[in-house]
């Protein structure tokens, strides 16, 4: 479920593999953060990632109105699998 939601809501900016190189994200300065394992964006706790997805951060929009809490947690879990 997390992979499916990531594909819909995150890939446009963060890219399929989470490098921050999605087709829409390439147009932003600064570029969207990389979400792959070991990148600074995934060092925060799961709760902190959930908060960013929910409330947005910097240029990233908030998704609390678009995604149920369980869906946001599915995305957090999927982010932990990106290598």
Q: What is the pLDDT of residues 70-80, one digit of tens each?
A: 999 999 999 98
Q: What is the pLDDT of residues 20-53, one digit of tens each?
A: 899 998 888 888 988 877 777 667 889 999 999 9
How far is Cα 65 from Cα 51, in angstroms, rounded to an integer?
Answer: 13
Cα–Cα nearest to 67, from 10, 20, 28: 10
- Count of residues making up the chain: 83
Sequence-separated (6 or more) residues with CB below 8 Å from residue 71: 1, 5
Q: What's this model's pTM, rounded to 2 decimal places?
A: 0.88
Distance from the Cα of residue 32 to its chain's centroid: 9
């Amino acid at each position: 479920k997390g992979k499916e939601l990531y594909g819909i809501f995150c890939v446009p900016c963060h890219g399929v593999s989470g490098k921050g190189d999605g087709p829409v994200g390439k147009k932003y300065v600064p570029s969207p953060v990389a979400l792959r394992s070991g990148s600074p964006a995934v060092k925060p706790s799961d709760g902190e990632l959930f908060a960013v997805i929910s409330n947005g951060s910097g240029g990233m929009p908030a998704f609390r109105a678009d995604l149920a809490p369980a869906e946001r947690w599915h995305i957090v879990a999927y982010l932990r699998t990106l290598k």
